[in-house]
């Protein structure tokens, strides 16, 4: 389990992370979402041991990450800007990874290379950005670490490859009980991949939740009554947003969907429709509930 406590990271006068706290359980796909400069890459570098936090501590299973090879050998970090040795092929890079990571599997490397249809003898620096991303992903997965950190990994991938990458990551998590942390500035990228999601803003996690909970805990309600009514009719309901046009009221509600439906049906409405929300809509309303304007955050 990755634990960050009161982590602060500064670059000269700029505070990249400020008193950040989070806890990432093992065996999940954890999404980090936030706008540019929110601190996603900084956080990934901190939990991969590239940076030492200015304040606070970062631990994996109770052990500090920075300058701790025993912990770092369980981690592979794929940064936004990839690194390959000059003139290196994937085979050459595989040798480097094998030298660095004891758990590196050539068998898995070969399997993944074939799955992605990449030629391991070609100079990586001559291939497209998307293929470089695939190559980096293959190398990371072949190293078979417990923790995989992907920084903006889906950038530059076409939809087919994006799905393939998501699948292999997901399989890795399921089969090996690995933990994957994926950062992205696009919520849609993470919606169908992550188990948990954290929203970073100005160096802090302002919202963190299980995606399934998020998706089911908020829902949109459209309801109409024959008589004249107002918002007060729904007192006792937990609502995040309420609008009414004539006899039709629309609001976002939080709570148990079935219980909600039952209570509303007891009020004998002319019309009742309970709709699921997209993850983006959930975030929109959750952020607003927390006092953030979502458009400023993402």
Partner 1 sequence: MKTIFDRKLYLVGLKKIKLVGIICGILLIVCNALVPVASLVSGMMNGGNDEATLTASNYAVASPLLLLLVPMFFLSMFSFLNHRNESDFYHSIPFKRTCILGSFTAAIFTWVFGILFASLLLNGVLYAADPAIHFSLLIPLQLFAFFAFVSLYVGSFVLLAMTLTGTTVSNCAVSLILFFFVRIISAITIEMVESLVPILDVAYSPLRFMSTRYWLPAATFRIYYDLSVFRDVSLWVYSAVVLVALYALSVWCFCRRKSESAGKSAVNRGLQHAFRCAFTLPLALLTVFGVMEGAGAAFAVVMILVTLMFYYLYELVTVKKLRQTLLSTPFLLVPALCCALIVGGCYLTRGAVLEQSFTADQIESVRFYNHRDFWGVFDTTYTYELTKTDGISVSDPEANEIIANALDDNIRMVRTNDFNQYYVDHYYVDSRNQYVEIQLKSGRKVRRQLRIPQTDINRVEKLRQASDAYREVFLQLPSDGEINSITFGDQDILTSEGDQNRNIRDLWNTFVAEYEALSDEEKLAYKNQYALYRTGYFDVDGLTAELYFNVSGTLYDSYGSSPFETRYFIPSEFERTRSLYAEYTQPVRDEVRQVIQNFVDGKYDTLFDGSDKPTTSFFNFSGNGLWNGVAIYPSEYYENESYRSSGMNGTANAAPDVLVTNAQNDPEAGKEFFRMLLPYLTDTPEDNSYLYFWFSVVDDGTGRHYNTIFGLSGDMPDELKNALDGNWYDVPDASVYPYK
Tokens 């399921």 sit at which residue? 174
> Minimum distance between the CB of residue 195 and partner 1, rounded to whole angstroms?
24
Cα–Cα distances in Å, from 65 out to 43, 70, 73, 116, 137? 12, 9, 10, 32, 22
Give the span between the Cα atoms of 71 and 65, in whole angstroms.
Answer: 6
Cβ closest to partner 1, residue 99 vs residue 293: 99
b/e burial code for range 166-202 (CB count within 10 A of at least 16 → b) = bebbbebbeeeebbbbbbbbebebbbebbbbbbbbbb
Cβ closest to partner 1, residue 97 vs residue 154: 97
Q: What angle (nearest 5°) sits at the alpha carbon of residue 219, between those of residues 213 and 225?
A: 155
Q: Which of 82, 122, 127, 264 binds partner 1 (CB under 8 A)?
A: 82
The interface with partner 1 within residues 210-269 (CB under 8 A) comprises none
> Minimum distance between the CB of residue 16 and partner 1, rounded to whole angstroms?
10
Cβ closest to partner 1, residue 34 vs residue 145: 145
> Minimum distance between the CB of residue 224 and partner 1, rounded to whole angstroms?
57
Cβ closest to partner 1, residue 69 vs residue 246: 69
Q: Which of 62, 83, 291, 295 binds partner 1 (CB under 8 A)?
A: 83
> Minimum distance between the CB of residue 33 and partner 1, rounded to whole angstroms?
21
Residue span 97-136 as binding mask against partner 1, x where in contact by CB under 8 A, dash where not: --xxx-----------------------------------
> Minimum distance between the CB of residue 59 and partner 1, rounded to whole angstroms?
16
> Minimum distance between the CB of residue 82 and partner 1, rounded to whole angstroms?
6
The interface with partner 1 within residues 42-71 (CB under 8 A) comprises 45, 48-51, 67, 69-71
> Minimum distance between the CB of residue 49 and partner 1, rounded to whole angstroms?
6
- Let me know: does 8 contact 53? Beta carbons within 8 Å: yes
Cβ closest to partner 1, residue 14 vs residue 293: 14
b/e burial code for range 73-106 (CB count within 10 A of at least 16 → b) = ebbbbbbeebebeeebbbbbbbeebbeebeebbe
> Minimum distance between the CB of residue 63 and partner 1, rounded to whole angstroms?
13
Residue span 152-191 as binding mask against partner 1, x where in contact by CB under 8 A, dash where not: ----------------------------------------
Using alpha carbons, select from 248, 245, 243, 253 the residue that is nearest to residue 225.
248
Binding-residue total with partner 1 (CB under 8 A): 23
Cβ closest to partner 1, residue 151 vs residue 281: 151
Applying CB under 8 A, which residues contact partner 1? 11, 45, 48-51, 67, 69-73, 75, 77, 79, 81-83, 85, 96, 99-101
């Amino acid at each position: 389990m990755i634990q960050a406590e009161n982590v602060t990271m500064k670059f000269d006068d700029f505070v990249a992370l400020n008193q950040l706290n989070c806890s990432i359980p093992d065996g999940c796909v954890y999404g980090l979402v936030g706008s540019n400069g929110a601190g996603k890459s900084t956080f990934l570098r901190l939990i991969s041991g590239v940076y030492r936090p200015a304040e606070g501590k970062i631990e994996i299973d109770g052990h500090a990450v920075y300058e701790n090879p025993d912990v770092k050998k369980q981690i592979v970090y794929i940064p936004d800007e990839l690194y390959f040795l000059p003139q290196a092929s994937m085979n050459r890079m595989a040798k480097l990874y094998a030298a660095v990571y004891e758990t590196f599997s050539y068998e898995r490397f070969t399997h993944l290379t074939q799955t992605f249809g990449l030629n391991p003898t070609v100079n990586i620096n001559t291939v497209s950005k998307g293929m470089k991303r695939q190559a980096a992903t293959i190398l990371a997965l072949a190293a078979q670490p417990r923790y995989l950190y992907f920084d903006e990994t889906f950038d530059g991938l076409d939809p087919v490859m994006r799905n393939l990458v998501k699948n292999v990551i997901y399989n890795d998590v399921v089969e090996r009980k690995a933990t994957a942390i994926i950062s992205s500035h696009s919520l849609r990228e993470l919606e169908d991949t992550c188990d948990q999601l954290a929203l970073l803003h100005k160096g802090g996690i302002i919202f963190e939740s299980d995606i399934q909970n998020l998706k089911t805990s908020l829902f949109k309600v459209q309801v109409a009554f024959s008589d004249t009514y107002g918002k007060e009719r729904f007192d006792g309901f937990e609502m995040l947003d309420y609008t009414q046009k004539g006899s039709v009221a629309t609001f976002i509600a939080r709570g148990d969907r079935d219980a909600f439906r039952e209570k509303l049906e007891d009020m004998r409405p002319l019309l009742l429709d309970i709709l699921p929300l997209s993850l983006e809509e959930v975030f929109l309303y959750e952020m607003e509930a927390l006092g953030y304007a979502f458009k400023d955050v993402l």
